[in-house]
Amino acid sequence: MTLSTVTVTLRSEARCPNFRKVYNRCRWRQTRQRLLWAEEAPELTAAHFGGGGLLHKKTSNQPGQEGERPRSRKELIEELILKSKQEKRERQAQREDALELTERLDRDWREIHSLLAPKAPRAQHRDRKEQPQPDAYDRMVRELGFEMKAQPCNRMKTEQELAKEEQERLRRLEVDRVRRMLGKEEGDRKKPTHVSADDLNDGFVLDKDDRRLLSYEDGKMKVQEEQSGEASAGGNAEEEGEDESEDESEEDAEGSGGSDSHLDLDCDAESEDESVGPERVRRRAPRERPETGCQEAREAAGAELPYTFAAPESSEELKSLLSGKSAEEQLLVVERIQKCHHPSLAVGNKAKLEKLFGFLLEYVGDLATDDPPDLEVIDKLVVQLYNLCQMFPESASESVRFVLRDAMHEMEERIEAKGRASFPGLDVLVYLRIAGLLFPASDFWHPVVTPALVCLSQLLTKCPVLSLQDAVKGLFVCCVSLDYVSLSQRFIPELINFLLGILYIATPNKQSQGHTLVHPFRPRGKNSELLLVSNDEDAATWQRRSLSLHWASASKAQTETEANHTRLSCLAVCLALAQRCVLMYGTLPAFQDIMRPFRTLLTQHLAASNHPQELQELCRSTLTAIETQERRYHPLVSEKSKPVPLKLFTPRLVRVLEFGRKQGSSKEEQERKRLVHKHRREFKGAVREIRKDNQFLARMQLSEIRERDAERKRKVKQLFNSLAEQEGEWKALKRKKFKK
């Protein structure tokens, strides 16, 4: 079929939706064939139009090559491909040489052109008049003209759009991770590809090889089930050669800028091999993948953290998700759960995240009760708790209040059963600390912080210090209390009393201490010298450091040296808290009276003891801070009131009246006259209104009478008319009878 025939056919079938595509394919194929005919060797032209003459041509005609076997069509095509590639490389080298030569000539021309540029004589420059300098206004106008203008930009995305994009990103990453874990390549995923109108689908490859060898025996078609090893080996070699030739041809096509590639020759060669060569059908064999690399990729993808997680329905599910992972991975898991279940993405996500806050709170308590407690993970999970609390403050406050309520009920039950209570576990202390971080502690009253502050005061009042763990927990409660009131600067007497008790149990008991202890501390007893250190060697080896919460939940027994170091650390923390109290409560009027027991203990006992030098310096600095605070007593003064003025006579005020009226009337007479005048005016107004009403009623009655009279006259007139008509009719009837 020629191009003109195709054109006529397409014009007659113009309604076909793909006629332009078919037409373009035919034109492109014809043009490409013409170019190949012009460039190919005469032998290849003879092979195309001579019925395969190259396959039957004998090489014995060429001198010096007698006795060699004839070359097959495949070898000829490979030789043609090699020649074509060699010509392309030569053309590419020529193009690069020409480009390099052009650049060198351009560079030389720029150097020469700079020397040939004409220069104006200096005399002309002298003759020019000096231009006036622009004033301030002109400079301002030019600056405004060249000033940067506001450029339009994309609008800011809403919280819902950002959450949707983050969810889609995590979903794509999870799909990619699962694909790598299963060992699938990225090319296995089906992607929509653009198909050009000139695409002939020459590179189509079947996904599955379900073809069989085809042969004929005695004129009948025969399909073989298995291929011979020799044929398969030959096919693999041929396919590898085709793959290499295609890859190289693609590289050459990219480098040469779209030069011709003999891919259609390969297709034609394969089609002719099906008809001329052995009757067998081959497909391109997939390249072997390195098993070791795939296995490593699967293991890496399997060890990678998933990008999407289902919202946990119970605390056990959350523990199973977070157990066995590092602190960063646990934080990442909780963050991805929040992003995948943002409240704006679905209806039930709000309830899921509210439950997640309670589960996280319970998980934090479990981490605090472990031995040793995982405080690093707790510190990182507080960020996620804060984010959830900002999203759902009501449900978060309910959860925290529920935890604190349970802790207070347990303490009250313990007091009722044993008469005294002990410090709670580290989980309750962590909950109290988290409550101060999640909610504002400076409010006058808060539904969460206020009960938490009361709980802290109860712990400092009702829980006696019976061991080093109790001392560490009590000092931690003091730190949390000071953090609560750091902005509001509320005075907590339980805090001052507890710090004073800690200083008391760190000094040797003597008869006169200068103050009275308050519960939960006792002046005499087994634990009255709990923090006293008698070993000078342990005191010499002590170094000041932060008091770790691990000692508050330590189940293992400490050595004597570790216990002495813990006692000294507790004393150092107590003195540091006392300094904070001095800075915070130094403006109170009775501050000196409040801190007098501290001054007595620090002056008489702690300063003269055999404590380390660093601890003694801390003691002296605390004592100096207390003494430097000024007394802010205010003397008692009676309340100031305004002086009572002297009683004076009331002056007689005479109203100046107008001319013609009596001048000697009193205020009562004037008031009586005013009322009389007002009564007369009101009476006249009432009479006037009554007259108007009577006139209106008279007019209405007259109009009604006139209407009744008119109606009566109309009816009388109508009766007279009807009687006259009857009389006329009777007279007419009487005449007729008379005539007859």
pLDDT tens digits, one per residue of 552-581: 776 666 788 888 888 888 989 999 999 999
Residue 235 has pLDDT above 50, yes or no: no
Among candidates 569, 550, 571, 572, which has minimal Cα distance to 561?
569
How far is residue 574's CA from residue 502's CA, in Å, rounded to a whole number? Answer: 7
Lowest mean pLDDT of 22-31, 244-253, 381-390, name the range: 244-253
pLDDT at 250 (0 to 100): 41
pLDDT at 599 (0 to 100): 85
pLDDT at 131 (0 to 100): 73
Can you read off the two tokens belonging to residue 130? Answer: 């000096």
DSSP 508-529: ---S--SS---TT--SSSTTTT
Residue 409 has pLDDT above 80, yes or no: yes
How far is residue 23's CA from residue 26's CA, in Å, rounded to a whole number? Answer: 5
pLDDT at 55 (0 to 100): 44
Query: Residue 223 — φ and ψ, nearest 5°?
Result: -110, 120
Average pLDDT estimate for 720-734: 90
Residue 279 has pLDDT above 60, yes or no: no
How far is residue 371's CA from residue 638's CA, in Å, rounded to a whole number? Answer: 63
Query: Residue 217 — φ and ψ, nearest 5°?
Result: -140, 120
How far is residue 222's CA from residue 141's CA, in Å, rounded to a whole number? Answer: 93
Cite the beta strand spans of 529-686 per DSSP E.
Answer: none
What is the CB neighbour count within 10 angstroms for residue 180? 18
Per-domain residue ranges for the chain?
A: 392-552+559-628
Lowest mean pLDDT of 561-570, 582-591, 668-677, name the range: 582-591
Q: Whose structure tokens read 């064999």?
A: 285
Highest-pLDDT range among 137-151, 350-364, 586-600: 350-364
How far is residue 582's CA from residue 624's CA, in Å, rounded to a whole number? Answer: 10
pLDDT at 37 (0 to 100): 58
How far is residue 225's CA from residue 712's CA, in Å, rounded to a whole number? Answer: 128
What is the CB neighbour count within 10 angstroms for residue 123? 7
Residue 288 has pLDDT above 50, yes or no: no
Give exposure, 93-109, as e/b (b: 16+ Cβ within 10 Å): eeeeeeeeeeeeeeeee
pLDDT at 7 (0 to 100): 44
What is the CB neighbour count within 10 angstroms for residue 336? 20
Can you read off the two tokens belonging to residue 102? Answer: 């052009």
Highest-pLDDT range among 18-22, 377-381, 630-634: 377-381
Contact 477, 429 (CB under 8 A): yes
Query: Residue 279 — φ and ψ, nearest 5°?
Result: -75, 90
Highest-pLDDT range among 120-129, 187-196, 443-452: 443-452
User: Over the stretch 627-658, which tens digit does the pLDDT of each residue have?
Assistant: 887 666 666 777 778 888 887 777 777 666 55
Grade residue 374 by pLDDT with cuts at 50, 70 and 90. confident
User: Over the stretch 304-350, which tens digit does the pLDDT of each residue have?
Assistant: 778 888 889 998 999 888 888 888 888 888 988 988 888 888 888 88
Can you read off the two tokens belonging to residue 431? Answer: 């909950």
Grade residue 449 by pLDDT with cuts at 50, 70 and 90. very high
pLDDT at 201 (0 to 100): 57
Among candidates 409, 505, 431, 435, which has minimal Cα distance to 464?
505
DSSP 8-state secondary structure symbol assigned to residue 60: G
Residue 134 CB contacts under 8 Å (≥ 6 apart), including other chains: 142
Q: Within 13 A of 270's CA, how many CA atoms are on the CB side?
A: 16
Element (DSSP H or E) covering residue 223: strand 220-224
Residue 69 has pLDDT above 60, yes or no: yes
Portion of the chain with pLDDT greater than 90, in percent: 22
Among candidates 216, 414, 404, 388, which has minimal Cα distance to 311?
388
Query: Residue 428 — φ and ψ, nearest 5°?
Result: -65, -40
pLDDT at 285 (0 to 100): 39
Lowest mean pLDDT of 289-293, 503-507, 648-652, name the range: 289-293
Grade residue 682 by pLDDT with cuts at 50, 70 and 90. very high
Summary mean pLDDT of the chain: 76
Residue 719 has pLDDT above 70, yes or no: yes
Residue 239 has pLDDT above 70, yes or no: no
pLDDT at 228 (0 to 100): 40
pLDDT at 577 (0 to 100): 92
User: Over the stretch 176-220, which tens digit does the pLDDT of each residue have?
Assistant: 877 777 766 665 555 555 556 555 555 555 555 555 665 666 656
The terminus-to-terminus CA distance of the chain in angstroms comes to 122
pLDDT at 723 (0 to 100): 92
pLDDT at 124 (0 to 100): 52
pLDDT at 694 (0 to 100): 94
Grade residue 495 by pLDDT with cuts at 50, 70 and 90. very high
Q: Say which residue, 266 or 411, is predicted with more confidence.
A: 411
pLDDT at 42 (0 to 100): 56
> pTM above the 0.75 mark?
no
Can you read off the two tokens belonging to residue 315? Answer: 């605390």
295-303: Cβ within 8 A, 24+ apart = 295/183, 297/180, 297/183, 298/180, 298/181, 298/182, 298/183, 300/180, 301/177, 301/178, 301/180, 301/181, 302/181
Average pLDDT estimate for 373-390: 90
Three-class SS of 113-182:
HHHHCCCCCHHHHHHCCCCCCCCHHHHHHHHHHCCCCCCCCCCCCCHHHHHHHHHHHHHHHHHHHHHHHC
pLDDT at 357 (0 to 100): 92
How far is residue 100's CA from residue 302's CA, in Å, rounded to a whole number? Answer: 52
Grade residue 498 by pLDDT with cuts at 50, 70 and 90. very high
Contact 30, 3 (CB under 8 A): yes
pLDDT at 154 (0 to 100): 76
DSSP 8-state secondary structure symbol assigned to residue 650: P
User: Over the stretch 524-540, which tens digit does the pLDDT of each residue have?
Assistant: 777 788 888 878 788 88
Average pLDDT estimate for 148-173: 81
Grade residue 54 by pLDDT with cuts at 50, 70 and 90. very low
Grade residue 494 by pLDDT with cuts at 50, 70 and 90. very high
What is the tally of helices (H) and strands (E) in the chain?
26, 2
Contact 521, 465 (CB under 8 A): yes
Lowest mean pLDDT of 82-96, 141-155, 233-247, 598-612, name the range: 233-247
Element (DSSP H or E) covering residue 301: helix 291-303
Average pLDDT estimate for 652-674: 71
User: Over the stretch 467-487, which tens digit does the pLDDT of each residue have?
Assistant: 888 999 999 999 999 999 999
Residue 73 has pLDDT above 50, yes or no: yes
